[in-house]
Amino acid sequence: MEWGPTALADPIALLIDHAFLEMKAAQNAMELMTRWPNEWTPGWVETMTGIARDETAHLSQVTRLLMRRGGRMERGHKSFYAAALRGLVRSGKTGETLDRLCVSALIEARSCERFFVLASTTTDEELAGFYKALFSSELGHYKVFLKLAFKMAPSAEVSARWEHMLNEESRIIGEQPPGCRIHSGME
């Protein structure tokens, strides 16, 4: 079975997972902003607060949709995909910043891809419209994070690190169990 129908099998569980991912994405942007403000690129704070604002708006949208459908956010949500990606981040100021930007870009790229699949797969018009609208925003965030990575380090270093993370991410996705989650594995 393909990922889309599996993820859509329980729309409430999918929306709960999605809400937590939006919250974590907003927190990530704020943490990047406060940890490394204006370190090597003008507009760092403005860029990160813009992403945090977008992600917070998405959280609000998905939460409203979830509540209209009778669901609510629950405690104890974990994203094993994101945790595994964060495990790839090196320690140390420059390496850590580069890796965090690459991980953020990967998560946004994969979310963008998954939202496209959900919008194309679901027969629920409201969900299709919602995920279609999010596709563009996530694509923009992916490009911003990757662009910032290329601004902070030499192109060869960024490209090598990006390739390494893409390979590791492929392995990580393959290890994820299938389910009603944005970043679940395939069945």
Predicted confidence (pLDDT) per residue in 30-50, tens digit: 998 877 655 556 788 889 999
72-108: burial string, b at 16+ Cβ within 10 Å, e else: ebeeeeebebbebbeebbeeeeeeebbbbbbbbbbbb
- Rounded to 10 deg, the angle between the 125-152 and 93-121 helix axes is 160
Cα(73)–Cα(153) distance, integer angstroms: 39
Q: Which of 182, 133, 145, 130 is nearest to 16 (CA)?
A: 182
Cα(134)–Cα(132) distance, integer angstroms: 5
Predicted confidence (pLDDT) per residue in 88-126, tens digit: 999 977 788 899 999 999 999 999 999 999 999 999 999
pTM: 0.91
For the ranges 102-111, 141-150, 176-185, the lowest mean pLDDT is seen at: 176-185
- Domains of the chain, with CATH numbers? 3-175 (1.20.1260.10)
Cα(110)–Cα(108) distance, integer angstroms: 5
